[in-house]
């Protein structure tokens, strides 16, 4: 059985920053997905902002 997580994120974390790719369902075309890649600093405030970003995108799974 395959499990499909419609809203997920992949993180590449380093000492300097984190690259984050978020996949969400595409609102324009059913059955497809949109991806957005962003870079976040390694400061406490940036990590808290990243947390809010993932919550707002309704991400249910994060992999590092």
Contact assessment for residue 40 and residue 32, using Cβ atoms and an 8 Å cutoff: no
Predicted TM-score of the model (pTM):
0.86
Provide the pLDDT for residue 29. 87
What is the arithmetic mean of pLDDT over 29-39? 92
Q: What are the sequence ranges of the domains in the chain?
A: 8-63
Provide the pLDDT for residue 31. 82
Strands 17-25 and 61-63: what pairing?
A: unpaired
What is the arithmetic mean of pLDDT over 50-63? 96
For the chain, what is the mean pLDDT?
A: 93
Burial of 31: CB neighbours in 10 Å, binned 0-12, 13-18, 19+: exposed
pLDDT in tens, 2-24: 778 889 999 999 999 999 999 99
């Amino acid at each position: 059985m395959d499990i499909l997580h419609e809203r997920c994120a992949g993180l590449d974390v380093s000492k300097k920053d984190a690259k984050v790719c978020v996949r969400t369902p595409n609102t324009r075309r059913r059955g497809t997905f949109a991806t957005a890649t962003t870079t976040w600093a390694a400061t406490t405030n940036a990590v808290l902002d990243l947390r809010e970003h993932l919550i707002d995108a309704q991400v249910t799974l994060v992999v590092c």
